[in-house]
Amino acid sequence: MGALQTGPGPGPQLEPVANPFLNLVGSAIGAFLTTLVVGAILVAVAPDYTERKMATLLDEPISSFLYGFVSLIFFALVIFVLAITIVGIIVAIPLAIVLYVAWAVGGAIAFIAIGERLVGRGDGWVKPLLVGAGINGALTLTGIGGIVTFAIGAAGFGAVLRDYLG
């Protein structure tokens, strides 16, 4: 009976195969599902909040984007500085989680707002939610649309953070 070789040595080496197309599809599905799930929770639990943030975003898209973008850079630097100080990791990890949730909420609100502009909300939240999630997934699938998705997410993030930071 032979031994199983797990490290480097003679014989064929198995290397993981990275398929960029599959990575892109996985990212697009993740973006679609994140927007769909977070958006569904928002419209079910806090529809008034969702409508207020959508109104803020649609009334002031440039300032919401700038607020979100600058806040993202600031918080990334804060998390980095906290993380390199060993004691700061205790604060950095929860802060990163809270900011990720705020980003997901802001992005979902932004894409729901786009979906509402395109199909209206006469029948309820389902159509704008599905259209917004579909746009997020489709933009992510194109690869270059990730830049547009980031800008939309930053605007939503800014709209969410304005109540808490400014």
- State mean pLDDT over 105-109: 96
The pLDDT, as a whole number, for residue 30 is 93
Percent of the chain whose pLDDT exceeds 90: 70
Confidence band, pLDDT 50/70/90 cuts, at residue 29: very high
User: What pLDDT, in 10s, does the model give residues 6-19?
Assistant: 555 555 665 665 77
Is the model's pLDDT at 4 over the cut of 70?
A: no
Burial of residue 40, with CB atoms counted within 10 A of its CB: 0-12 exposed, 13-18 middle, 19 or more buried = middle
- State mean pLDDT over 112-125: 93
Report the mean per-residue pLDDT for the chain: 89
SS (H, E, C) 89-129: HHHHHHHHHHHHHHHHHHHHHHHHHHHHHHHCCCCCCHHHH
The pLDDT, as a whole number, for residue 37 is 97
User: What pLDDT, in 10s, does the model give residues 31-81?
Assistant: 999 999 999 999 999 999 999 999 999 999 999 999 999 999 999 999 999
The pLDDT, as a whole number, for residue 20 is 74
| Predicted model pTM | 0.83
Number of other residues whose CB lies within 10 A of the CB of residue 149? 24
Max intra-chain CA distance, the chain: 72
